[in-house]
Amino acid sequence: MSFALLGLIDALLRNLQALKYQTPTPVQTKAIPAVLGGKDVMAAAQTGTGKTAGFALPLLQRLVQSGPPVASNRVRVLVLVPTRELAEQVLQSFVEYGQGLDVRLMTAYGGVSINPQMMKLRKGVDVLVATPGRLLDLHRQNAVRFDQVQTLVLDEADRMLDLGFSRELDAVFAALPAQRQTLLFSATFTDDIRTMAASILRSPVNISVSQPNATASKIKQWVVTVDKKDKPELFLHLVAENKWDHALVFVKTREGVEYLAAMMEREGYAVDTIHGDKPQPARLRALERFKSGNVRLLVATDVAARGLDIDDLPLVINVDLPIVAQDYVHRIGRTGRAGASGVAVSLVCADEAPQLAAIEALIQQTLPREEEPGFEAEHRVPQTSATRQIIKKPKKPKKPKVLQAASGAAVPGQKPRQQGAGNKRNANGRVAAAGKGTGSSRAKPSATQKPGGKPAGKPGSGPRKPVGKGRSAPGKRPA
Ligand code: ADP
Ligand code: MG
């Protein structure tokens, strides 16, 4: 299959050649003709399989081939994304794929001044890539009108349609012309989201090019079990020991991100952070520095989990597991992109067994486990499996009691805790854990205090080994 056979025009084919895209990926092969044909599309394909070009190429073509030129304060193609960083990246893709075409492209997101965005909209834009909140602000101020919108794209559609965004999205949907093309792209879709999606699509072409919710097969994944309080210290130890020198690191909370980054900085690592409390220019700068290699460890919340395409990123480390299982697929999908290989390591403590079980059920794999000598968990992480079971709840060794047990705790034969128990939905409808993130445990890094613990190697000492291969004995990996 070639891009030419998919019906793309020469100008686009030349750009693809310049980008060294030789053959369309499976999702592109299916999506491009459907989008060119004006159909609604719901496409599920693994992370890193080129979904952006799957909608950007045919939409650019439709823009240059059809329709009246865009009027002032109007938009022809509206792309909604969950994060500001992703907005910039998707715009960049439109710029690259659309070199030499006469199209006006722009982004609009919050955290930066609205005035330049209003100015730019005055002439009208062909493609607007936006986050929903800022888009609505612009709409309320009449800086953007939707009557010329011919296509709506929801990238990371499941995230866009989940409860956290639904109120804003409903307001956008209500303002859009009913006659339009709607495209949904994501790597993960829950059944609820599919149902919800069906209500905004008209006889859609359903594209599913891999097992739903699958992770790229070239990503090697494992789990290191550890006590919650020891996570920061274990992280530091693993980074030093394995000479992991280029990694995206996920932590559950903003405070946890800052705590871990400060610790690594003190140890002499080139670190930066991305999370919701940071000013937008600093967020974008951190990502740029990480992409250019000036920063080797980027520590982030799930704001960096979706869609970001970082060339040759070898490693993703989850210092905390995500609350929502789908986010695991997205996080680790930052590595192993476009057919490359990658490594994803998750530090898991006993509290996180329900999340681990949910992740394993989602990806249909039981993740191999490891323990790091000196960091063995005192609170054992219950066994889990891809059948979504927590096989055994850990029981604290009990001293024989003379008195009769007064409470119902630890009744023999008691059912293991349900997945998600103890989690609450917050005001956004996103599930939030009852517990706190890593940083809140405020464990002091103290490698030397560990009985039998290996002292953490000096950062940067010793010969450099490629990430993922630097682990001492490959045979050590559990089967
Ligand atoms: P997704 O949205 O599916 O996660 P992206 O659209 O971000 O994936 O693309 C992932 C990477 O693959 C990008 O670096 C992109 O440049 C590259 N890519 C996309 N399509 C092709 C192709 N047909 N041939 C080669 N590389 C491609
Ligand atoms: Mg994407």
247-258: average pLDDT? 97
The pLDDT of residue 1 is 82
Fold agreement between 3-208 and 219-391: yes
Highest mean pLDDT among 304-308, 420-424, 459-463, 472-476: 304-308
Mutate to test the pocket of ligand 1, among 6, 13, 21, 159 (most ligand atoms within 8 A of CB): 21
How does pLDDT run across 307-331, given as a tens digit for each residue? Answer: 999 988 999 999 999 999 999 999 9
pLDDT value at 108 more than 60: yes
Amino acid at 236: L
Q: Residue 130 C-alpha to ligand 1 middle, in angstroms?
A: 20
Q: Residue 243 C-alpha to ligand 1 middle, in angstroms?
A: 28
pLDDT top residue among 163 and 75: 75
Cβ-based burial of 292 (10 A; exposed 0-12, middle 13-18, buried ≥19): exposed
Phi, psi of 137 (to 5 degrees): -55, -45
The pLDDT of residue 453 is 37
The pLDDT of residue 66 is 82
Closest by Cα among 215, 259, 229 to 365: 215
CB 232 within 8 A of CB 300: no
The pLDDT of residue 395 is 53
Token pair listed for 296: 């080797």
Ligand 1 atom at minimum distance from 311 CA: 14
pLDDT value at 241 more than 80: yes
43-54: average pLDDT? 94
What is 219-391's CATH number?
3.40.50.300
Residues around ion ligand 2, judged by CB within 5 A, are: 51, 307
Domain 3-208: CATH architecture, name and number where available: 3-Layer(aba) Sandwich (3.40)
The pLDDT of residue 163 is 77
Q: Give percent of the chain above pLDDT 90.
A: 69
The pLDDT of residue 298 is 97
Length of the chain, in residues: 479
452-466: average pLDDT? 36
How does pLDDT run across 184-225, given as a tens digit for each residue? Answer: 999 988 888 888 888 899 999 999 987 767 777 789 999 999
pTM score: 0.78
Ligand nearest the Cα of residue 45 is: 1
The pLDDT of residue 392 is 57
Distance, in Å, from the CA atom of 424 to the CA atom of 429, rounded to the nearest integer, reads: 9
Bin 35: left if φ > 0, else alpha if -120 < ψ < 50, else beta: alpha
Distance, in Å, from the CA atom of 463 to the CA atom of 401, rounded to the nearest integer, reads: 56
How does pLDDT run across 262-276, given as a tens digit for each residue? Answer: 999 999 999 999 999
The pLDDT of residue 278 is 94
User: Which residue owns the Cα nearest ligand 1 atom 9?
Assistant: 50
Q: What is the DSSP string of 257-276?
A: HHHHHHHHHHTT--EEEE-T
The pLDDT of residue 423 is 36
CB 77 within 8 A of CB 149: yes
Every domain of the chain and the residues it spans: 3-208, 219-391
User: Which residue owns the Cα nearest ligand 1 atom 19?
Assistant: 50
The pLDDT of residue 166 is 86
Mutate to test the pocket of ligand 1, among 16, 47, 52 (most ligand atoms within 8 A of CB): 52
Instruction: Name the band, by pLDDT with cuts 50, 70 and 90, for residue 393.
Output: low
Mean pLDDT is lowest, of 123-137, 178-192, 442-456, for 442-456
Q: Which residues lie with the beta carbon below 6 Å from any ligand 1 atom?
A: 21, 24-25, 28, 45, 47-53, 307, 309, 337-338
The pLDDT of residue 385 is 82
